[in-house]
Structure 1
Amino acid sequence: MVSSDFEVYYYSDKNFTTLKPHAHDYYECYLFIEGDVTMEIFNPEGTPSRYKMSPGDLMLVPPGIMHHALMNNPEANYRRFLFWISKSCCNRLMQESVDYMYLIQKAEAFHKYIYHMTPAQFHMIESKFLRLLEEVSSERYGSSAFIHLCLCDLILTINRIVYDEENMKSSSDELTLFQNIISYIEGNIEESLTLDDIAGKFFISKYYVAHLFKDTLGVSLHQYIIKKRLDECRNAITGGASITGTYEKFGFRDYSSFFKAFKKEYGMSPKEYQSLYSHNLIP
């Protein structure tokens, strides 16, 4: 990849020579238009899978994943869009929103690389590719800013299309996973519960966990855990437990952070809340 952030191309070939299996240090997004091609992709363990490509098929391959296109009929016209984006560029986009990461987390967590687009979906994505290609090659006023908008639009469009399709098909499985994560949090509320911890426990991408909570509850995983810990602290201190022992028990690092979070949630300090609502303390 020549650019440090991303590159986008349209290719049309005849007599294309099959390349050897190869991997990149960037993400490759590939939209198949025409040809007689089978894509061979190797999972992280090195086991190959083959996909006979149909017009409208979209492929996303993460860094380090071996893959190549097998030419079943080299004389057939071979047309496709290619989009390469660096890990650092993806990380910057993720700081803006985890919504950019849906396809990436599906590829990395579940080794899902190929999606089939309907004609309407294909034409929508094709238009985004063409607009980005046009802007990259132009020298118009504000081109740099508009390229970024086109880039984000292309990525979000692809992610939204796939997400909507996956959601319709797997909402039940996703709900079960979400409920299992909730149960795990409630059963381990006194333990370390970072995004990495939970993703590792359920063998899924942390981006997937973040997306799941934001979509289901409208809050981040961290915000949910804080609210649950504050609920436990509130119940404990109104039941007679000491404030100091309680905030330490439920994972707050220091009294200052506990105090701020508690007051923001309940509108008063822990001590004021305990005095007002305690039902077990002797006056």
Structure 2
Amino acid sequence: MKKDLYTEFDTRQYMKSSDFEIFYYNDATLQHVSPHTHDYYEIYFFIEGDITYKIEQKTYNLQFGDYLLIPPGKPHHPIFNSYDTPYRRLILWISKSYLDTLCQKSKDFAYSFNYVSESENYHFRLDYISHQQIQGALLQLLEDTRGHHPFHEVHIQLLLCTFLILLNRMTYNMLHQVSPSHGNALYLNICDYINSHLGEDLGLDTLADFFFASKYHISHIFKDNMGISLYQYILKKRIHASKNSILSGMPLNQIYHQYGFKDYTSFYRAFKKEYGLSPKEFREQHKLPQDFKLT
């Protein structure tokens, strides 16, 4: 992780910003944090350390993949069990006024916090893939808040909204015990999408944006279900569709454009590798006799 993303620990329990603040802490010597409350929402994403966390009267032994949702006014603090490992976490603060503003567009933005306020269950545990998604989204948000790119303010607002949607979906899935078949459903939906868009951009970035899933997650479930990479699957589907178009008599210079190949050379190489024949040789071998007629 980039060192310039680290935040020096501060006991400040108030926000300088009117909307949100994000921190990445990596402490090797921190040994005590007093119980405290604040008037904003906190999303606490645990990475490493030997920590028990207390919120009100409830304690949680934190493990890799855990996150805590702490509403305003709830006393909380970490309890250090040992100091053998660094204490690493990502913290996102969101003001009440800013969340209220988002909820004017959609009440769904507050889904997770509404749940914890009603249930008083503040602790959630993610699987490895989901953990990586959350961490990646937070780090991107953190990095962009430190940058000064064109349209900087608009971009970080969009990143925050995207993160909250991702968080709420994961919270929903855990509460409704979405089974591994959910991953299979995603895999099947991706297959359907690929089959319907063979001539378009089917890169991981495109699929990740369309299905609101991480590139790593898509690659992982695809390899698990198919035994081949996503790239190999797309290539095979394009080659198979090209073969059928050759048999139907479509001109070769139209076929490679229609099925997403950037040029004839890449189409030629992929086709010959799959079938052992060039597209032209395949067409000649499978050409119907001139006097053949359907009856």
Structure 1 distance, partners of 2:107, 2:130, is 22
Structure 1 distance, partners of 2:43, 2:174, is 18
Identify the residue that residue 104 of structure 1 maps to in structure 2.
113
Offset at 1:4?
1.3
Structure 2: give runs of 5+ residues left out of the alignment: 1-14, 179-295
The structure 2 residue matched to 1:30, chosen from 28, 33, 44, is: 44
Structure 1 distance, partners of 2:69, 2:157, is 20
Q: Is the 8 A contact 1:16 1:71 kept in 2?
A: no
TM-score (norm 1): 0.57
Offset at 1:154?
0.9
The structure 2 residue matched to 1:76, chosen from 82, 85, 88, is: 85
Show CA shifts across 1:58-108 (max 9, x none). Answer: 001001000000011124211100000000001001111111111111111
Q: Is the 8 A contact 1:15 1:75 kept in 2?
A: no
Give the superposed CA RMSD.
1.3
The structure 2 residue matched to 1:39, chosen from 35, 45, 53, is: 53
Please show how residues 193-272 of structure 1 align to structure 2 within 5 Å. Answer: none
Identify the residue that residue 6 of structure 1 maps to in structure 2.
20
Structure 1 distance, partners of 2:166, 2:105, is 16
Q: Is the 8 A contact 1:34 1:80 kept in 2?
A: yes
Identify the residue that residue 15 of structure 1 maps to in structure 2.
29
Please show how residues 124-203 of structure 1 align to structure 2 within 5 Å. Answer: 124-168=133-177
Runs of 4+ with >4 A deviation: none
Q: Is the 8 A contact 1:38 1:50 kept in 2?
A: yes
Structure 1 distance, partners of 2:143, 2:85, is 27
Structure 2 distance, partners of 1:164, 1:28, is 21
Q: Is the 8 A contact 1:28 1:60 kept in 2?
A: yes
Structure 1 distance, partners of 2:29, 2:177, is 40
The structure 2 residue matched to 1:122, chosen from 131, 136, 141, is: 131
TM-score (norm 2): 0.54
Offset at 1:166?
1.1
Show CA shifts across 1:175-224 (max 9, x none). Answer: xxxxxxxxxxxxxxxxxxxxxxxxxxxxxxxxxxxxxxxxxxxxxxxxxx
Structure 2 distance, partners of 1:91, 1:165, is 25
- 1:51 lines up with 2:60 in the alignment: yes
Equivalent position SS for 1:153: helix
Structure 1: give runs of 5+ residues left out of the alignment: 43-47, 170-283
Show CA shifts across 1:44-71 (max 9, x none). Answer: xxxx111100011000100100000001
- 1:88 lines up with 2:102 in the alignment: no
Structure 1 distance, partners of 2:84, 2:19, is 34
Offset at 1:17?
2.1
Identify the residue that residue 191 of structure 2 maps to in structure 1.
none
